[in-house]
Amino acid sequence: MSTISGDKETAGPYSVLDYLLLDDAYDYGELDDALLARLNVTVIKTPLITEKPHKYDEHLVARALLSFV
């Protein structure tokens, strides 16, 4: 990030992560929403898991990623 923002006089909190894609029904534990907001990370919850509870469904992930375009 220092290379990218080298021409800026002030440094601020930067995140290399803009989006966090999560399954809407899976329990990931507690998320620090305040920290994610300060880092400008957008959390997107959508269906990503079908039959196998610990494996993402490739078609649902692809569909979610293509929705960004």
Per-residue pLDDT, 13: 60
Per-residue pLDDT, 44: 95
DSSP states of the chain as a string? Answer: -TTTTTT-SS-----S--EEEEESSS------HHHHHHTTPEEEEE----SSTTS--HHHHHHHHHTT-
Of 33, 32, 60, the residue nearest 46 (C-alpha) = 60
Question: What are 7-63's pLDDT values in tens digits?
Answer: 666 655 666 788 999 999 999 999 999 988 888 899 999 999 998 888 999 999 999
Q: What is the pTM of this model?
A: 0.71
